[in-house]
Amino acid sequence: MTYDASPAYAAAQDAADPLAAFRQEFHFPPGPDGRPVAYFCGNSLGLLPRAARAAVEAEFQAWEMKAVEGHFHGESPWMHYQDALAAPTARVVGALPTEVVIMNTLTVNLHLLLISFYRPTPTRYKVLMEGGAFPSDQYALESQARLHGLDPAEAIVEMQPRPGEHTLRTEDIEARIAELGDSLATVIFGGINYYTGQVFDMAAITRAGHAVGATVGFDLAHAAGNVVLHLHDWDVDFACWCTYKYMNSGPGGTSGVFVHERFAHRPDLPRLAGWWGNDPAERFLMKKGFRPAAGAAGWQLSCGQVLPMAVHRVNLDLFDQAGGVGKLRAKSEKLTGYLEFLIQQLALPTSRLEIITPTDPAARGCQLSLLVHERGRELFDYLAARGIVADWREPNVIRLAPVPLYNSFEDVSRVGAALHDFFK
């Protein structure tokens, strides 16, 4: 795509954008000058959808008017609320409706899945993950290793980029999996590395892991709602994700789980059980003996979190109205490419600023991570003073995420102008 740094170009792109109207579906905080901020922090917390307040209010009304009967009566009975989210969730992550469930929060779900899919033996006990994964994943795996009486330093293998590089090469991941061979119990990667913005080749990693007999799962916190996923077709064993980043479901919002259909009827698979994961046909018999529901629903523990799910439902509706992740991804590639173009126009040496996110659009989502070697924090504060909300990561990285549902080319142009003024 041919880009142009002029404001007129950005305005023309926004005028031709078939998704431009979705920007009006979100609240933008006011900036220092009173006008809405240019919000590039959706990789940490998405904006508030305008319809969210009414969706939650509807559940307050049901609670007010029906009290406990709201579980069984009304427009969206709470007893089955999560069931209505299965099909739209499946469309977002490329799954069958029975393979997904909305429940709990991300790290809780990661632990629940690892209980089932990390089953070390005396000879097959190692876990492979990307180095520099988000701390929650590191802590979860450390504690899971200790749970099995293992030393995390021995059980957990972390992949690091080659010297002088910022991201991992797929062939290196595949080679490391093959090298670990029958000592490898589980592969758990982020679908996208939170720091660099690199999208991992999940299909290739899954094939390589299965080839040596390992289970393979992904933390999709930065991938769900951001890039096109085909979890079922890629044959991924398990995955989980939060919904408060690219899916705009609010701080601490609910989480999603994927379990491949081949495990749908595996009551023998070890898991932590709860009432809500029991066979719904027997749920109210209140008897001993856990019989898991078929599919991912069998990993549920407690009643659905209706108020957070109401916000999430709004966003799933917006994704469908926009034509799905594929349509959003097409705009995302253009927006992120435009941001990359404007940064390259600065012609700064890499000793001052470099983009550590892959240049290949297929290997990144809607995020560019800028490694700022000089005055990094000063630049971040300068952007904030100009009404540009970015994300700072120690020691010197600024993350910018142009989200296709609500960011515009004019937003990106504002970032380009601010960077130009700072570095001139």
Tell me, yes or no, whether 15 and 133 share the same domain: no
pLDDT digits (tens, 9 = 90+) for 63-89: 999 999 999 999 999 999 999 999 999
pLDDT of residue 167: 97
Residue 344 lies in a domain: yes
Same domain, 234 and 372: no
Instruction: Indicate whether 300 and 409 sit together in one domain.
Output: no
Within-domain flag for 123: yes
> Which residue among 266, 290, 320 closes a domain?
320
Domain match, 129 and 21 both: no
Q: Given the DSSP bridges, would you call strands 100-103 and 126-130 parallel, antiparallel or unpaired?
A: unpaired
The whole-number pLDDT of residue 1 equals 79
Tokens 């799933």 sit at which residue? 316
274 and 338 together in one domain: no
Q: Which of 277-286, 332-341, 342-351, 387-396 has the lowest mean pLDDT?
A: 277-286
Distance CA 203, CA 357 (A): 20
Model pLDDT, residue 424: 87
Domain boundary among 320, 353, 370: 320
Q: In angstroms, how far is CA 4 from the centroid of its own chain?
A: 31
List CB contacts of 262: < 8 A, sequence separation 6 or more.
none
For residues 72 and 24, membership in a common domain is answered with: no
Q: Is residue 187 part of a domain?
A: yes
Q: Find the mean pLDDT for residues 232-248.
A: 98
pLDDT given at position 264: 93
pTM above 0.95, yes or no: yes
Kindly report the average pLDDT of the chain as a whole number. Answer: 97
Is the residue at 115 inside a domain?
Answer: yes
Q: Could you say which of 283, 300, 320 is where a domain stops?
A: 320
pLDDT digits (tens, 9 = 90+) for 29-57: 999 999 999 999 999 999 999 999 999 99
Q: Are 257 and 307 members of one domain?
A: yes
233 lies in the same domain as 308: yes
pLDDT digits (tens, 9 = 90+) for 366-421: 999 999 999 999 999 999 999 999 999 999 999 999 999 999 999 999 999 999 99
Q: How many secondary structure helices (H) and strands (E) does the chain include?
A: 12, 15
**Segments forming the whole domain that contains residue 127:** 56-320
Percent of the chain whose pLDDT exceeds 90: 98
The CATH code of the domain that includes 73 is: 3.40.640.10
CATH number of domain containing 331: 3.90.1150.10
Query: Quick check: is 237 in a domain?
Result: yes
Question: Which pLDDT tens digit goes with each residue over 288-306?
Answer: 999 999 999 999 999 999 9
Residue 2 lies inside a defined structural domain of this protein: no
Q: How many CB atoms lie within 10 A of CB 143?
A: 12
User: Tell me: the pLDDT tens digits for 253-271?
Assistant: 999 999 999 999 999 999 9
Q: Are residues 214 and 274 in the same domain?
A: yes
Q: Do 364 and 296 belong together in one domain?
A: no
Number of separate domains in the chain: 2
Does a structural domain hold residue 1?
no
Q: Concatenate the DSSP letters of all residues of 284-337 into one string.
A: GG--SS--BPSGGGGG--S---HHHHHHHHHHHHHHHHTT-HHHHHHHHHHHHH
Residue 37 within a domain: yes
How many C-beta atoms surround the C-beta of residue 96 within 10 A? 17
Q: Are 117 and 88 in a shared domain?
A: yes
- The helix-helix angle for 86-93 and 306-321 (nearest 10°) equals 50
Q: Are residues 137 and 256 in the same domain?
A: yes
